[in-house]
């Protein structure tokens, strides 16, 4: 049985690689001067259990193929979900026709052959155990997680459900320099969204989750359910506060959004267009000396790890900010050429279009203070647990978002607050990160410890 | 390949027959279940981008697939395939069937196609139109934006279109086909002052529009020049923007896209699934006052050419105009098949999904407030100290506690009844079930947005429209940064 499975797996891998290299070969035969093909294949399982009953059960797989062709400095791309000979032929023909109408772009092209490659060794990205649980036990995982939240407190009377998800995916990339790379990744997660109601009938919702590449590393259903309940219950009775200028502490889940803003600011695509206030600031101080930000696409087992980037270049570790000094932008081949720099292997490739730029494992180095110590040092301030909306402008740095969380009084989380805003300018905010916690934990490819930022305006009554 | 408005598309191109549909539905109900449906989708799309005056990116794609849903009580089983061969569809049907556990039902016999509207009868869908004509539109946008002002330093113009051909067949005899075009032009600009001017400042502006229209739409009133000038104007305006005030104050919303307020503050909260599960802050408020009597809010999927419109929803139900709030009283919810059945309500034709890979759920179409009696100029003149917000980025809502935000990208101070200085972008935050109770004036100038909205819910994105006349909200929290001495709004 095992042997049969392995044989069929091996054959499948070969098939996808063969398809990709064949498409590249045919594109070159069709007159292209360079070509690149990506094939993606994946399957997913998801279930939601609400109030103890299965609400949805979804299970499926799909695959798709995309090609990018060049005529000299002109490039175009096409994609399809149709793997029939006719479907692939049509995709190729459209790409070759489309490229002819594109503009000559002196910086367009696939990477130089010498830069291509794939990290060797097991990066621990794929674990078969994500599907090892039989269907009924996956449902049971979700059910137990929700039950732990519902049992935690009588005020938790409703729920948007507990869920269990699993997925595996395979990606193959081939180009006309002879590069052929392939990797598989797995993923599983459990999440709960409880709803609590206070004596006045007012409701609050929050959530908690665990995510891992291996089922063995997933938190227990009970742990996730209890934490979801704790986060939801503490929001009951939330009130507005008066407009104030106070220290603001971001819990790790919301602090990671600050890392995303830095990412957007150092993204080569924003930098060469001047769409980032960090453009032209290499070597300059843009944050406090306590701030060191790293991107590492090669970290074994990471959520942002791949053996090669979207253009076939081996991933690596890049120090973005070191002790407050901007050390590197994050680049793909195109933006590196535009800026006269070297790529940092951050190309992200969808099925269509030109490659974008994406993070590997991207994080703020932890500090030395425990999160509760950071809170304990504040007499009057805001602890943010959720942001609403997308009010960050990387061109100007202007920042304004809806928020909810807890009000800090004399070093303690005193009462919940909501319907308030947090506003400032990112240029100053990066410099005003006055404390960084010890609690760095990856729950995705972008992660941050608890941070304190001074000088912000909290808008309320 | 031209596939415009072709009836029986899947019959012609995939050899599908009525008998096949019955066979697949029978397999879906082989383990019991109350209802099953099949959603066939064939999507072609084009995307073009001009950046630095070059056509740098051009892509085209095709995706096709079928989703099978089985409903059993409140339970939904779902599976899909991107291979439209009978074996794969049958496999998906049997997988979805696992949700139920009862004797098989074989009551599928014959399909009935309801008469549907023809809200977007394009002769030649944009995806099949001459691509060089689309490129020329973008080059015109690029030239116009760059020529608008020497301080415009960067311009990106993009064109995206698609044609979605669908077939929905249900075990209750539902049979519906539609061919849904969608096209959009978008322009974004960055403005910068010269370093020599002594004061470094920058701004960004975006504008765009379209709908379920053909390429010729962009040769009418809504030319690329129209969108380019608008994006450039916003970017230049930001160069002189002052700090926005912080705290509660009077807010006037301009007409059109600021209708995103309705989408976030009340629209999502009135989607039937949240109310069936009693997870919405609006649960149990039907017949109650949730807005001032000047407010009437509708969702209308039947507006010709509109981005949020559909002849039939993604469950095959014809769309309609649904009154959500009438003279301030909450009247109804937006429903799909599942929620209407479980709640005993009419199906309002709001069952939508992003693609064949997704389970349908209640979603908005075009959501707007009807025009009132007030003169927009009088509304501005009635405000002593406040904010006039005319353009927005996006918004977000917490359905359960009702708190919503929407982010103003173009706004001005109102001082003593006069619009004065432009202010920097700021988030506005409020509470859905009561924000509209503080609407004291409603303008006579209802306007719909230009056709740029995309709504996300549970990870599914669908195109929507919004609209609103000029309105005055007596108190709303503005999330600016201005200190007491500059704002004058702090308490």
User: Which of A139, A391, A458 would best serve as a mutation to test chain B binding (most B beta carbons within 10 A)?
Assistant: A391
**What distance in Å separates residue B324's CA from the closest CA in chain A?**
22
Across chain B, mean pLDDT equals: 93
pLDDT tens digits for B280-311?
A: 999 999 999 999 999 999 999 999 999 999 99
**pLDDT value, residue A9:** 39
**What distance in Å separates residue A122's CA from the closest CA in chain B?**
31
pLDDT tens digits for A378-413?
A: 999 999 999 999 889 999 999 999 999 999 999 999
When pLDDT is cut at 50, 70 and 90, the band that residue B489 belongs to is very low
Instruction: Show the 3-state SS of chain B.
Output: CCCCCCCCHHHHHHCCCHHHHHHHHHHHCCCCCCEEEEEEEEEEEEEEEEECCEEEEEEEEEEEEEEEEEEECCEEEEEEECCCCHHHHHHHHHHHHCCCCCCCCCCCCCCECCCCCCCCCCCCCHHHCCHHHHHHHHHHHHHHHHHHCCCEEEEEEEEEEEEEEEEEEECCCEEEEEEEEEEEEEEEEEEECCHHHCCCCEEEEEEEEEECCCHHHHHCCCCHHHHHHHHHHHHHHHCCCECCCEEEEEEEECCCHHHHHHHHHHHHHHEHHHHHCCCCCCCCCCCCECCCCCCCEEEECCCCCCCCCCCECCCCCECCEEEEEECCEECCCECCHHHHHHHCCCCCCCEECCCCCCCCEECCCEEEECCCCECHHHHHHCCCEEEEEEEEEEEEECCCCCEEEEEEEEEEEEECCEEEEEECCEEEEEEHHHHHHHEEEEECCCEECCCCEEEEECCEEEEEEEEECCEEEEEEEEECCCCHHHHCCCC
Q: Residues B192, B172: one domain? A: yes
Q: Residues B206, B254: one domain? A: no
Q: Residues B225, B289: one domain? A: no
Residue A7 has pLDDT above 50, yes or no: no
Q: Residues B147, B268: one domain? A: no
pLDDT tens digits for A93-112?
A: 999 999 999 999 999 999 99
Other residues' Cβ atoms within 10 Å of the Cβ of residue B157: 30
pLDDT tens digits for B214-232?
A: 999 999 999 999 999 999 9
Q: Residues B371, B223: one domain? A: no
* Residue of chain B whose Cα is closest to the Cα of A83: B83
In a domain, B2, yes or no: no
Report residue B332: phi and psi, to 5°.
Answer: -165, 170
CB contacts under 8 A, A 363-392 vs B, are: 386, 388-391
Size of interface A-B (CB pairs under 8 A): 256
Q: Which of B54, B77, B491 sits opposite A105 (nearest CB)?
A: B54
When pLDDT is cut at 50, 70 and 90, the band that residue A4 belongs to is very low
pLDDT tens digits for B328-337?
A: 999 999 999 9
Q: Which 8-state DSSP code applies to residue A313?
A: -
Across chain A, mean pLDDT equals: 94
Which tokens is A82 given? 């149709």
Residue A5 has pLDDT above 60, yes or no: no
**pLDDT value, residue A132:** 87
When pLDDT is cut at 50, 70 and 90, the band that residue A218 belongs to is very high
Q: Residues B109, B251: one domain? A: no
Q: Is B443 exposed, middle or buried (0-12, 13-18, 19+ CB in 10 A)?
A: buried
Q: Residues B439, B339: one domain? A: yes
Give residue B167's domain range: 9-238
Residue A262 has pLDDT above 60, yes or no: yes
Q: Which 8-state DSSP code applies to residue A67?
A: E
Q: Residues B321, B191: one domain? A: no
Q: Which of B55, B398, B429 sits opposite A421 (nearest CB)?
A: B429
Q: Residues B277, B415: one domain? A: yes
Measured between beta carbons, which residues in chain A are less than 8 angstroms from residue B403?
388, 402, 404, 418-419
Which tokens is A49 given? 């259990």
pLDDT tens digits for B96-129?
A: 998 887 777 666 768 988 888 899 999 999 999 9
User: Which of A243, A254, A418 would best serve as a mutation to test chain B binding (most B beta carbons within 10 A)?
Assistant: A243
Q: Residues B234, B255: one domain? A: no
**pLDDT value, residue A450:** 98
Domain finish residue from B193, B218, B238: B238
Which tokens is B353 given? 């999904």
A354 inside 8 A of chain B by CB:
yes
Q: Residues B304, B388: one domain? A: yes
Q: Residues B167, B302: one domain? A: no
Domain finish residue from B173, B206, B238: B238
In a domain, B118, yes or no: yes
CB A254 within 8 A of CB A430: no
Please state which of the ranges A23-27, A59-63, B46-50, B180-184 shows the lowest mean pLDDT: A59-63
A420 inside 8 A of chain B by CB:
yes
User: Which of A338, A421, A453 would best serve as a mutation to test chain B binding (most B beta carbons within 10 A)?
Assistant: A421
Q: Which of A78, A354, A388 sits opposite B56 (nearest CB)?
A: A354
**What distance in Å separates residue A50's CA from the closest CA in chain B?**
10
Residue A6 has pLDDT above 90, yes or no: no
In a domain, B4, yes or no: no
Average pLDDT over residues B388-405: 94
Measured between beta carbons, which residues in chain A are less than 8 angstroms from residue B238?
396
**pLDDT value, residue B394:** 85
When pLDDT is cut at 50, 70 and 90, the band that residue A425 belongs to is very high
Domain finish residue from B189, B214, B238: B238
B77 inside 8 A of chain A by CB:
yes
**pLDDT value, residue B491:** 31
Q: Give the separation between CA B55 and CA B138, rounded to whole angstroms.
A: 9
Average pLDDT over residues A198-203: 94
Average pLDDT over residues A214-243: 97
Which domains, and CATH codes, for chain A?
2-229 (3.30.2290.10), 238-461 (no CATH)
Q: Which of B62, B427, B479 sits opposite A82 (nearest CB)?
A: B62
Other residues' Cβ atoms within 10 Å of the Cβ of residue B37: 26
Q: Do A459 and B60 touch (CB under 8 A)?
A: no
When pLDDT is cut at 50, 70 and 90, the band that residue B488 belongs to is very low
Average pLDDT over residues A70-78: 96
Helix (H, G, I), strand (E, B) or coil at A248: strand
- The total number of structural domains that make up chain B: 2
| CATH number (domain holding residue B118) | 3.30.2290.10
Residue partners of B352: CB distance under 8 A and separation at least 6: B310, B313, B314, B336, B360, B361, B362, B363, B462
Q: Do B479 and A423 touch (CB under 8 A)?
A: yes
**pLDDT value, residue B107:** 67
B76 inside 8 A of chain A by CB:
yes
């Amino acid at each position: 049985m095992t042997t049969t499975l392995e044989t069929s797996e091996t054959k499948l891998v070969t098939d996808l690689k063969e398809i990709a290299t064949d498409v590249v070969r045919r594109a070159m035969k069709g007159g292209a001067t360079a070509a690149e093909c990506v094939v993606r294949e994946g399957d997913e399982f998801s279930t939601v259990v609400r109030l103890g009953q299965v609400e949805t059960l979804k299970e499926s797989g799909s695959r798709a193929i995309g090609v990018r062709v060049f005529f000299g400095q002109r490039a175009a791309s096409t994609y399809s979900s149709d793997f029939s000979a006719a479907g692939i032929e049509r995709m190729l023909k459209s790409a070759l026709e489309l490229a002819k109408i594109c503009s000559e772009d002196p910086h367009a092209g696939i990477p130089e052959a010498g830069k291509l490659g794939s990290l060797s060794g097991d990066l621990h990205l794929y674990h078969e155990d994500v599907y090892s649980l039989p269907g009924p036990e996956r449902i049971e995982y979700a059910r137990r997680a929700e039950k732990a939240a519902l049992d935690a407190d009588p005020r938790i009377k409703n729920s948007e459900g507990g869920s269990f998800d699993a997925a595996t995916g395979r990606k193959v990339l081939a180009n006309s320099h002879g590069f052929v790379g392939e990797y598989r990744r797995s993923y599983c997660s459990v999440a709960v969204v409880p709803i609590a109601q206070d004596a006045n009938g007012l409701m609050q919702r929050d959530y908690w989750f665990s995510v891992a590449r291996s089922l063995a590393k997933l938190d227990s259903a009970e742990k996730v359910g209890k934490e979801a309940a704790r986060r939801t219950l503490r929001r009951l009775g939330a009130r507005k506060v008066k407009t104030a200028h106070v220290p603001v502490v971001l819990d790790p889940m919301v602090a990671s959004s600050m890392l995303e803003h830095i990412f957007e600011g150092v993204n080569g695509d924003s930098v060469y267009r001047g769409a980032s206030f960090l453009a032209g600031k290499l070597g300059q101080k843009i944050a406090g000396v306590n701030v060191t930000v790293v991107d590492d696409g090669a970290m074994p087992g990471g959520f942002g790890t791949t053996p090669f980037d979207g253009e076939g270049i081996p991933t690596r570790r890049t120090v973005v900010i070191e002790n407050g000094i901007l050390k590197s932008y994050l680049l793909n081949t195109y933006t590196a050429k535009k800026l006269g720099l070297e790529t940092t292997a951050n190309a992200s490739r969808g099925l269509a279009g030109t490659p974008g730029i994406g993070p590997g494992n991207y994080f703020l180095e932890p500090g030395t203070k425990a999160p509760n110590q950071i809170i304990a040092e504040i007499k009057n301030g805001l602890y943010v647990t959720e942001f609403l909306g997308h009010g960050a402008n990387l061109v100007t740095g202007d920042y304004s978002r809806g928020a909810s969380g807890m009000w800090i009084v004399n070093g303690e989380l005193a009462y919940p607050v909501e319907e308030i805003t947090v506003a400032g300018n990112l240029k100053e905010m990066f410099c005003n990160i006055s404390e960084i916690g010890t609690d760095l934990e990856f729950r995705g490819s972008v992660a941050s410890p608890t941070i304190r930022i001074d000088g912000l305006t909290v808008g309320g009554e | 390949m031209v596939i415009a408005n072709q009836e029986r598309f899947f019959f012609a191109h995939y050899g599908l027959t009525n008998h096949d549909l019955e066979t697949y539905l029978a397999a879906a109900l082989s383990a019991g279940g109350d209802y099953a449906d099949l959603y066939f989708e064939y999507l072609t799309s084009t995307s073009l981008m001009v950046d630095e005056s070059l056509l740098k990116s051009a892509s085209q794609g095709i995706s096709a697939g079928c989703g099978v849903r089985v409903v059993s009580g409140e339970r939904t089983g779902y599976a899909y395939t991107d291979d439209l061969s009978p074996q794969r569809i049958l496999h998906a049907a049997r997988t979805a069937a696992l949700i139920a556990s009862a004797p098989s039902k074989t009551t599928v016999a014959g399909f009935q196609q309801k008469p549907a509207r023809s809200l977007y009868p394009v002769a030649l869908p944009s995806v099949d139109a001459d691509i060089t004509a689309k490129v020329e539109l973008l080059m015109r946008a690029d030239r116009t934006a760059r020529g608008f002002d020497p301080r415009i330093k960067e311009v990106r113009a993009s064109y995206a279109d698609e044609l979605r051909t669908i077939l929905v067949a249900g075990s209750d005899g539902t049979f519906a086909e539609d061919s849904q075009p969608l096209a959009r032009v978008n322009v974004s600009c960055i403005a910068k002052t010269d370093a020599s001017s002594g004061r470094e400042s920058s701004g960004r502006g975006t504008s765009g529009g379209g709908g379920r229209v053909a390429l010729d739409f962009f040769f009418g009133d809504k030319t690329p020049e129209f969108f380019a000038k608008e994006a450039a104007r916003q970017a230049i305006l930001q160069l002189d923007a002052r700090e926005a005030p912080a705290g509660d104050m009077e807010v006037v919303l301009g007409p059109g896209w600021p209708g995103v307020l309705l989408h976030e503050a009340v629209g999502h909260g009135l989607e039937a699934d949240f109310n069936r599960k009693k997870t919405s802050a609006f649960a149990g408020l039907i017949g109650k006052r949730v807005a001032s009597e000047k407010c009437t809010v509708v969702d209308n999927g039947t507006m010709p050419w509109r981005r949020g419109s559909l002849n039939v929803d993604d469950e095959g139900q014809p769309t309609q105009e649904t009154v959500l709030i009438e003279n301030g009283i909450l009247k109804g919810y937006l429903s799909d098949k599942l929620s209407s059945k479980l709640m005993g309500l009419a199906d309002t034709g709001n069952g939508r999904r992003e693609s064949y890979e997704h389970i349908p759920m209640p979603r908005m179409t075009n959501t707007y407030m009807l025009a009132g009696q007030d003169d927009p100029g009088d509304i501005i003149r009635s405000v002593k100290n406040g904010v006039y917000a005319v353009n927005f980025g996006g918004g977000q809502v917490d359905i359960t506690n009702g708190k919503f935000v929407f982010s103003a990208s173009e706004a001005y101070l109102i001082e003593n009844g006069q619009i004065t200085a432009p202010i920097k972008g700021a988030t506005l935050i409020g509470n859905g079930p009561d924000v509209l109770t503080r609407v004291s004036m409603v303008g006579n100038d209802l306007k719909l947005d230009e056709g740029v909205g995309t709504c996300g819910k549970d990870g599914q994105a669908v195109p929507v429209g919004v609209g609103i006349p000029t309105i005055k909200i007596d108190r709303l929290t503005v999330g600016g940064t201005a200190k007491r001495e500059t704002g004058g709004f702090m308490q």
